[in-house]
Amino acid sequence: MLNIVIFGAPGSGKGTQSARIVEKYGLNHISTGDVLRAEIKNGTELGKTAKGYIDNGQLIPDALMIDILASVFDSFKDSKGVIFDGFPRTIAQAEALKKMLKERGQEVSIMLDLEVPEDELMTRLIKRGQESGRADDNEETIKKRLVVYHSQTAPLIDWYKNDGKYCHIQGLGTMEGIFADICAAIDKL
């Protein structure tokens, strides 16, 4: 199985590039953000809990996130592989993912880090908020999400370098150009 982690700050294009990877390589897509937004839309208990964190630009607690991830992953048994989009976001989540895959005789194949400058992230997210009405894409919440990204999520770059899975992708450029770089990295596996 191909187990790809797509990584980057909010607005780095994880969702957009994931859709293309899914289409080309026939993988299943696990977007933890999409999972949580669906729970909110359906008004579940989990959705109610998640909304408080998301609207405030904070991360959902690790234990909860790890449980959700494992159950979604197990629903994709016997597939060609999975793309993890938005997970892991903390060191504890990365360790849990490694353990979960190991218990299933698998591992992360590659971690693709989409790097985009901060001013560009802000521009993209504000535009997305205006177009889609996503509640957490407003300037105040975006700033909080970027702080959380730098303090809790960015340390995963070194974590994956140490694990030998890290791959840098220049996230600025045309969508086609970025996708071509991603495919080149995946095809080398």
Task: Please state the residue numbers annotated as binding site.
Answer: 11-16, 32, 37, 58-60, 86-89, 93, 128, 134, 145, 173
Out of 2, 5, 93, 110, the residue judged to bind ligand ATP by CB under 6 A:
93
User: Is residue 89 involved in binding ligand ATP (CB under 6 A)?
Assistant: yes
Q: Report CA-CA distances (Å) from 92 to 88, 153, 159, 161, 175.
A: 8, 10, 11, 16, 31
Radius of gyration over alpha carbons of the chain, in Å? 16
Q: How far is CA 75 from the centre of its chain?
A: 18
Burial 20-57 (b: 16+ CB within 10 A, else e): ebbeeeebbbbbbbebbbebbeeeeebbebbbeebeeb
> From the CB of 61, what's the least distance to ligand ATP, in Å?
8
User: Is residue 142 involved in binding ligand ATP (CB under 6 A)?
Assistant: no
Nearer to ligand ATP, 27 or 188 (CB): 27
Pairing type for strands 110-115 and 2-8 reads parallel
Residue nearest to ligand ATP (CB): 33
User: Is residue 7 involved in binding ligand ATP (CB under 6 A)?
Assistant: no
Name beta bridge partners: 2: 81
Q: What residues numbered 49-78 form the site for ligand ATP, per CB under 6 A?
A: 53-54, 58-60, 65
Q: What are phi and psi of 115, to 5 degrees?
A: -100, 125
Binding positions for ATP: 11-16, 128, 173
Residue 128 appears among annotated catalytic residues: yes
Kindly state the greatest CA–CA separation across the chain. Answer: 43
* Residues forming the site for ligand ATP (CB under 6 A): 8, 10-12, 14-15, 32-33, 36, 53-54, 58-60, 65, 86-87, 89, 93, 136, 145
Q: Give the residue numbers marked as catalytic.
A: 14, 89, 128, 134, 145
